[in-house]
Amino acid sequence: MTSNAHPRRRVLGGLLAAGTATLTGVSATTASADSPAGSGPKPTIVLVHGVFADASGWNDTIARLQKAGFPVIAPANPLRDLAHDSAYVSSVVDTLTGPVILVGHSYGGEVITNAGRGHANVKALVYVGAFAPDEGESALQLAGMFPGSELEGALLTRPFPLPDGTRFGIDGYIDPAKFHDVFAGDLPHSTTRVMAAAQRPGSVGGLASGSGVPAWKSLPSWFVIPTADKVIPAELQRFMARRAGSTTVEVRGASHVVMMSRPDVVVRQILAAHRATR
């Protein structure tokens, strides 16, 4: 029988069907990764990247978690404004069945602090060289609380059009000449040159946005603190971790991208969060 449907409608129908199948596949994957008998399904680990980076920064962490049998997803953080970014990650969590552990790096810590609210299946928060704001605090405000950050002197800015087309926002980048020393000093220059070229900017307006009620007030949290972090000073991370009551590990000499230089430590903290909350 010949279909009279318009070709574009047939294409759209196929995309919708594929999307439904994909969501079903996510749920099935999450439910099928079981822990040892009697302990229920393993949580889905949701890894949220920060500014000047993308989800590929989690690659080594993902590989180790998948080898251990955990379902993992590392969504693309929009990096436009905190409320929108948090709502986006929250919508990703909405598609997942079974327990979830949220892991945030850098500005991604702000995102999970907000996205973690209102989800009964979110069991723990893990902060990796990250911001863990209290209500009303912004990344820019927190960054100035303690000395040690070299980010301000390394920033470049570019305007970008806002959706209404009449005004412009400001994106922040790290000067490629300073990227290695400020952002990832314990990685090879050959690696950081590529990272600098591919860095995703963050909206300055988003970094100045005040946070909402923090999920760490109702959820247990873990912290990985790289002691040579030149973006978010280690002393600031210690302050935020103490305030949140986080279980903390420090990585001596590690840079801001500790999940790339020391993924083993990051995975151990995620596993500790899993063991404590299963």
pLDDT in tens, 9-30: 343 334 333 343 333 333 333 3
Please give the order of strands across the beta sheet that includes 72-73.
72-73, 44-48, 100-106, 122-130, 221-226, 247-251
Using the predicted structure, report yes or no on whether residue 257 has a pLDDT greater than 50: yes
- Lowest mean pLDDT, pick from 3-7, 63-67, 226-230, 247-251: 3-7
User: Which range, 44-53, 153-162, 204-213, is most confident?
Assistant: 44-53
Across 45-62, b (16+ Cβ under 10 Å) vs e yields bbbbbbbbbbbebbebbb
What number is the average pLDDT over the span 191-217? 96
SS3 156: strand
Residue from 144, 153, 160, 146 nearest 183 by CA: 153
Using the predicted structure, report yes or no on whether residue 137 has a pLDDT greater than 80: yes
The amino acid sitting at 153 is: G
The amino acid sitting at 89 is: V
- Quote the pLDDT of residue 162: 83
Q: What is the pTM of this model?
A: 0.86
Using the predicted structure, report yes or no on whether residue 138 has a pLDDT greater than 60: yes
Using the predicted structure, report yes or no on whether residue 178 has a pLDDT greater than 60: yes
What number is the average pLDDT over the span 190-195? 98
Contact in structure between 249 and 137 (CB atoms under 8 Å): no
The amino acid sitting at 124 is: A
pLDDT band at 6 (very low <50, low <70, confident <90, very high): very low
In this prediction, what percent of the chain has a pLDDT beyond 90? 81
| Cα 206 from Cα 202, distance rounded (Å) | 7
The amino acid sitting at 227 is: T
Using the predicted structure, report yes or no on whether residue 35 has a pLDDT greater than 50: no
SS (H, E, C) 202-247: EEHHHHCCCCCCCHHHCCCEEEEEECCCCCCCHHHHHHHHHHHCCE
- Lowest mean pLDDT, pick from 15-24, 41-50, 237-246: 15-24
pLDDT band at 39 (very low <50, low <70, confident <90, very high): low
- Quote the pLDDT of residue 18: 38
Comparing 34 with 154, the larger pLDDT belongs to 154
